[in-house]
Chains A and B, each alone.
Chain A
Amino acid sequence: MRALRGVDFDLAAGEVHALLGENGAGKSTLIKVVTGAHAPDAGEITVAGRTVHGLTPTLAQQLGIACIYQQPALFPDLTVAENIGLRLEHGGATRRIDWPARRARTADLLARVGATIDPEAEVNELSMPEQQLVEIACSVGAGARIVIMDEPTASLTQREQGRLFTVVRELRTAGVGVVYISHRLEEIFALADRVTVLRDGASVGTHPVAAMKEADLIKLMVGREVAQLYPPAEAPPGDVVLDLKAIGCTASGVRGVTLELRTGEIFGLAGLVGAGRTELARVLFGLTPADSGEIRLNGRRVVIPSPRQAIELGIAYVPEDRRRHGVILEMPIAQNMTMAVHRTIFPRGWLRDGAEEALALDFIRTLAVKCAGPDAPGGTLSGGNQQKVSLARWLATKPRVLILDEPTQGVDVGAKSEIHRIIRRLAKDGLAVLMISSDLPEVLGMSDRIGVMRGGALATVLPGGSDAHTVMAAALGQETNKGAA
């Protein structure tokens, strides 16, 4: 199987060059080739006018190529200074460590990337964006001329993202070439000078960003027109299904959330990372039960002490981290899909292979899951298809309330709009959908109403069609003025 076939890509000093493509288009492989992790079997790589043969990770580092991955690869129990020292200091195991110099250098590098991080802080105390800044400081310290960033904003809030952009722009000013990989088109328009689109392992064109429109890029990526990014609502919402009155959970920091959820409605839940949205979902699903307030389902007061109880009440939760919580990667798709409905599909406790396979085939068809068959392990699927499997597991419970946590995170554009259409269809069929998303355009485009959470509480509920600025302002609260770019 060829992951790459004929990629042309050039990066100038002092530019931000975006790399765009659906999952599996070859972005990761291209990075591996450029950082020396994989050897190409055709073509050539030229760095600063010199053709490089037999690129290895060490050689790549010497040439000034650095890569910052989505998940920072730092030692969590060591301090920032120790981590940077490990990367940048040379010498054998018996050398003496010059601690003051190490700290000074770390402080200097952190200052250069505009980070206010204590060099003595342990990495596990840092937030994700702070860890990324440490990584960037490392690459600056290593004298990197080429910095590759692989979806750096995937786990960042809007504000943290703004800070990262500032650093990237500074790198550009300093003459560093930045390869910027992201699924979020708006970031590319905000940041990049040029954009190269990969499709099926080949480059399908490099263009100045200024000359492109969102629709053009999407067209290049998927090779076809995506009719409309967000499907419209078709009918007004119905009766109240879920009625929360001042729900709180001390352990997870959810405070006094009051909201009504109606059938046929998509209720978007926006907010910064850590605002308590996932925590609220976990309360509603019985993972961390509520300790104050009142939950009514179809008018009847209920308690939700466990996921099992939640399932019986008709509440389903498609979790954010699909690889850890949504799908068991080693198990076949069919078994993943029936996992929450053992009681109904295997009423006597005996497995019924026929019934299981029928259910799986049904969902594979209706959700258009691309897979080798119901026996294929979940781990063999792409992100978007794994998400569909996770969704199928919960639709099989025939829920009345469907909670979706970041339903399209890390999903490529094609699968994303497919998932959006499915969500809209489910709402139309009478489900009440609570959709948590950090993807602001998604929240704005999909939601009939938008709840904004801040500090564990529901700060405000906005009507659908609100603009990004209003939502962001509500999410940021007091800090509106210092808000993201």
Chain B
Amino acid sequence: MSAPDAPAGWKRLFLRYEMLLFAALVAEWLLFHYFGTTTNRRGVVVGFGTMDRQFDILRHSCEIGLLALALTPIIITAGIDLSVGSLLGLCAILFGKLWFDGGLPIPVAAGLTLLIGALAGGLNAGLITGLRLPPLIVTLGTYSLFRGLAEAITHGAVTYTDFPTSFLFVGQERWLGLPVQAWLFALVAVAVWLLVHRTVFGRSFRAIGFSPEGARYAGLPVGRRVALAYVLAGLIAALAAIIYTARLGQAKADAGTGYELFAITAVVLGGTSIFGGKGSVTGTLLGVALIAVLKSGLATLPIVIRLNAAEEISGLLTGALLLAALTGSVLPKILSSLRSHRQAG
């Protein structure tokens, strides 16, 4: 009955949510800047307020950020990919092996790694769209499979190191004032934003997320579109693996362990509905930033340093933040239903 004003209200709420995230991010940053910045005995500013720290945050958020970007289209189709973290590990190992054992030049090894990532994503896609298996179970399987392969290839012991400095440049140096991988990340972010918000692919993802049957009846190629999202995720996970290797200077089998959960958290925190249909890349980026600043900022707070529990506290707060965001998103609905209930009773 409130039909006429519904769309405007909807849009308003959505805009408000992204604005809210942005405000939270700014507040968070200012807070850490105030409490986490000190001057040491030699009069040098240390802690959160340094440019080095800001670049550090950027570097650390690139890999999880890439996975979050990869997951955004998938979650919009009401799917999920738990395997991206494991795939990051597998791709890192294969990249190292292709370069070190295979003797291939870095660019060729990187190209092949991206191809492998896309193929691994294709495996997920084939099982999900071809055999119509649920994404949660398929990617839970490949989550173990990819990690297991990485462990098997390295016997859980081999680590590839001694990469040339020209390659480490990607992960450790700056270009035009910013960490090199931040440029790559920005490039992917723009591409995914365009894909999700400005193309028929993104439109289809939404339609499929809201109603896969409805999308099929509208003649949309549902299987092909869903497959695209998973293949793309594999490709982006491979890119994340290369950047990860360049940042740490080593490729190891446990690379990216647990990253998928951070990435999913960032996406959902960014306002993308786990039930599909609704979601935005901007939200995802804000979600990633919020988590990355929180993680890094906590480690600079004197009290946290004294407790030596930065990891634990950041995990706790990330969880609380996610639950708060989810609760907040359903709160208006619950309140209005309570109100009508009270009216009826």
Q: Does A319 contact B (CB under 8 A)?
A: yes
Question: Which B residues lie within 8 Å of A310 (CB)?
Answer: 219
Contact of A307 with B219 in the complex, beta carbons under 8 Å: yes
Q: Answer whether A377 and B198 are a contact pair too, CB < 8 Å, given A39-B344, A324-B211, A340-B218.
A: no
Contact of A39 with B343 in the complex, beta carbons under 8 Å: yes
Question: Which B residues lie within 8 Å of A327 (CB)?
Answer: 214
Contact of A376 with B3 in the complex, beta carbons under 8 Å: yes
Mask for B298-328, Cβ within 8 A of A = 1, else 0? 0000000000000000000000000000000
Question: Which B residues lie within 8 Å of A372 (CB)?
Answer: 3-7
Contact of B219 with A328 in the complex, beta carbons under 8 Å: no
Question: Which A residues lie within 8 Å of B277 (CB)?
Answer: 330-331
Contact of A351 with B344 in the complex, beta carbons under 8 Å: no
- A456 CB to closest chain B CB (Å) equals 21
Question: Which A residues lie within 8 Å of B10 (CB)?
Answer: 377
- B142 CB to closest chain A CB (Å) equals 28
- A334 CB to closest chain B CB (Å) equals 11
Contact of A339 with B199 in the complex, beta carbons under 8 Å: no
Contact of B344 with A332 in the complex, beta carbons under 8 Å: no
Q: Does A152 contact B (CB under 8 A)?
A: no
Question: Which B residues lie within 8 Å of A351 (CB)?
Answer: 198-200, 202-203
Residue from B11, B204, B343, B344 having most chain A Cβ neighbours under 10 A: B344
Question: Which B residues lie within 8 Å of A332 (CB)?
Answer: 7
Mask for A308-323, Cβ within 8 A of B = 1, else 0? 1011000001010000
Q: Does B206 contact A (CB under 8 A)?
A: yes
Contact of A328 among B6, B210, B345 (CB under 8 A): B210
- A377 CB to closest chain B CB (Å) equals 6
Contact of B219 among A37, A39, A311, A375 (CB under 8 A): A311
Question: Which A residues lie within 8 Å of B199 (CB)?
Answer: 346, 349-351
Question: Which B residues lie within 8 Å of A328 (CB)?
Answer: 207, 210-211, 214-215, 218
Q: Answer whether A335 and B203 are a contact pair too, CB < 8 Å, given A308-B221, A328-B211, A375-B7.
A: yes
Question: Which B residues lie within 8 Å of A375 (CB)?
Answer: 7, 11
- A331 CB to closest chain B CB (Å) equals 6
Residue from A328, A342, A346 having most chain B Cβ neighbours under 10 A: A328
- A325 CB to closest chain B CB (Å) equals 4
Q: Does A185 contact B (CB under 8 A)?
A: no
- B4 CB to closest chain A CB (Å) equals 4
- A387 CB to closest chain B CB (Å) equals 14
Residue from B6, B211, B277 having most chain A Cβ neighbours under 10 A: B211
Q: Answer whether A37 and B344 are a contact pair too, CB < 8 Å, given A1-B2, A327-B214, A349-B201.
A: yes
Tell me the chain B residues, 9-33 only, with Cβ under 8 Å from chain A.
10-11
Contact of B218 with A393 in the complex, beta carbons under 8 Å: yes
> In the assembly, what is the distance between CA of A14 and CA of B326, in Å?
53
**What residue of chain A has the Cβ atom nearest to residue B194's Cβ?**
A350
> In the assembly, what is the distance between CA of A335 and CA of B210, in Å?
13
Q: B-side binding surface: helix, strand, loop or mixed?
A: helix
Contact of A349 among B200, B210, B343 (CB under 8 A): B200
A interface, size bucket: 35 or more
Mask for A1-38, Cβ within 8 A of B = 1, else 0? 10100000000000000000000000000000000011
**What residue of chain A has the Cβ atom nearest to residue B2's Cβ?**
A1
Q: Does A373 contact B (CB under 8 A)?
A: yes
Question: Which B residues lie within 8 Å of A308 (CB)?
Answer: 219, 221
Q: Does B216 contact A (CB under 8 A)?
A: yes
> In the assembly, what is the distance between CA of A98 and CA of B10, in Å?
52
Q: Does B1 contact A (CB under 8 A)?
A: yes
Q: How many residues of B contact A (CB 8 A)?
A: 34
**What residue of chain B has the Cβ atom nearest to residue A374's Cβ?**
B7
- B149 CB to closest chain A CB (Å) equals 35
Contact of A339 among B6, B207, B344, B345 (CB under 8 A): B207
Question: Which B residues lie within 8 Å of A381 (CB)?
Answer: 3
Residue from B10, B199, B203 having most chain A Cβ neighbours under 10 A: B203
Q: Does A287 contact B (CB under 8 A)?
A: yes
**What residue of chain B has the Cβ atom nearest to residue A346's Cβ?**
B200
Question: Which A residues lie within 8 Å of B221 (CB)?
Answer: 306, 308
Contact of B200 with A3 in the complex, beta carbons under 8 Å: no
Question: Which A residues lie within 8 Å of B219 (CB)?
Answer: 306-308, 310-311, 339-340
Q: Does B213 contact A (CB under 8 A)?
A: yes
Contact of A376 with B7 in the complex, beta carbons under 8 Å: yes
Contact of B213 among A3, A325, A329, A349 (CB under 8 A): A325
Contact of A324 with B201 in the complex, beta carbons under 8 Å: no
Contact of A325 with B4 in the complex, beta carbons under 8 Å: no
- A344 CB to closest chain B CB (Å) equals 11
Question: Which B residues lie within 8 Å of A393 (CB)?
Answer: 218
Residue from A37, A287, A330, A376 having most chain B Cβ neighbours under 10 A: A330
Residue from A56, A350, A351 having most chain B Cβ neighbours under 10 A: A351
> In the assembly, what is the distance between CA of A136 and CA of B3, in Å?
34
Contact of A317 with B7 in the complex, beta carbons under 8 Å: no
Contact of B345 with A342 in the complex, beta carbons under 8 Å: no
Q: Does B127 contact A (CB under 8 A)?
A: no
Q: Does A119 contact B (CB under 8 A)?
A: no
- A72 CB to closest chain B CB (Å) equals 22
Question: Which A residues lie within 8 Å of B200 (CB)?
Answer: 342, 346, 349-351
Question: Which A residues lie within 8 Å of B216 (CB)?
Answer: 287, 307
**What residue of chain A has the Cβ atom nearest to residue B11's Cβ?**
A375
> In the assembly, what is the distance between CA of A80 and CA of B285, in Å?
53
- B134 CB to closest chain A CB (Å) equals 20
- A357 CB to closest chain B CB (Å) equals 14
Contact of B4 with A331 in the complex, beta carbons under 8 Å: no
**A-B contact sample (9 more), CB < 8 A, given A307-B217, A308-B219:** A3-B1, A307-B218, A324-B211, A328-B218, A330-B277, A339-B218, A351-B202, A372-B3, A380-B4
Q: Please name 28 pairs of A and B residues whose Cβ atoms are closer than 8 Å in the assembled complex, sorted by A.
A: A1-B2, A3-B1, A39-B345, A56-B345, A287-B216, A310-B219, A311-B219, A319-B217, A324-B213, A324-B214, A328-B210, A330-B278, A331-B206, A335-B203, A339-B215, A339-B220, A346-B199, A349-B199, A349-B201, A351-B198, A372-B4, A375-B7, A376-B6, A377-B6, A377-B10, A380-B7, A381-B3, A393-B218
Residues of A within 8 A of B (CB): 1, 3, 37-39, 56, 287, 306-308, 310-311, 317, 319, 324-332, 335, 339-340, 342, 346, 349-351, 372-373, 375-377, 380-381, 393
Residues of B within 8 A of A (CB): 1-7, 10-11, 198-204, 206-207, 210-211, 213-221, 277-278, 343-345
User: Which 9 pairs from chain A and chain B are nearest by CB?
Assistant: A380-B3, A307-B219, A325-B217, A339-B218, A342-B200, A372-B4, A328-B214, A330-B210, A311-B219
